[in-house]
Amino acid sequence: MQSPRPPLHVLSARVIGVDTNVLLRLFVTDDADQHRASTAFFADRTRQEPALVNAVVMAEFAWVLRRSYGYSKSQVLGVVGYLADAIDVRLQHGEAIAEALDLCAQTGEEFGDVFIAAINRSQGFQKTVTFDKSAARRVPGMELIT
């Protein structure tokens, strides 16, 4: 069993945030130099000096993997799950990500939609409105707006 991770506020001076393009290049090799630089950056991260993936980066990352790189829904969930388990990476709204991963596996919905609804629920919002009919039917807390 892994030891608990220290809270981010304790580590804040040693945590380094990453942009979406840096995270993407860890998993895609369409630019060899950026892939090498990203790989080296993440290789230097530790439990005490982790990389932070904020919620905006996570949502954008999942969307770009699906839309620009043709990753399947299950591949996106696998990559997000890998990041969630990594000891040298911290995810903002980690509990919402875990909930979204579980719900995506159950509903087949896109990670981004489920993640947005999970964050909003975790913040105490009663619902999230959408024009996405499928998400409104299948994602807890999402409601169709007309």
* pLDDT, tens only, 49-101: 999 999 999 999 999 999 999 999 999 999 999 999 999 999 999 999 999 99
Other beta carbons less than 10 A from residue 40's beta carbon: 9
**Domain hosting residue 66, numbered range:** 8-92
End-to-end CA gap in the chain: 48
Same domain, 84 and 114: no
Same domain, 128 and 84: no
Residue 97 lies in a domain: no
Q: What phi, psi does 132 have (nearest 5°)?
A: -80, 105
Instruction: Name which of 140, 137, 138 is nearest 122 in CA terms.
Output: 140
Same domain, 125 and 88: no
Average pLDDT, stretch 115-127?
A: 93
Total tally of structural domains belonging to the chain? 2
CB 112, CB 62: distance < 8 Å: yes
> For residue 7, what pLDDT is reported?
56
Residue 101 lies in a domain: no
Statement: the pTM of the whole predicted model exceeds 0.75: yes
Same domain, 116 and 145: yes
Same domain, 29 and 71: yes
Same domain, 45 and 114: no
The span from the CA of 37 to the CA of 4, in Å, is: 29
> For residue 108, what pLDDT is reported?
87
CB 103, CB 109: distance < 8 Å: yes
Same domain, 88 and 114: no
Residue of 123 and 13 predicted with greater confidence: 123
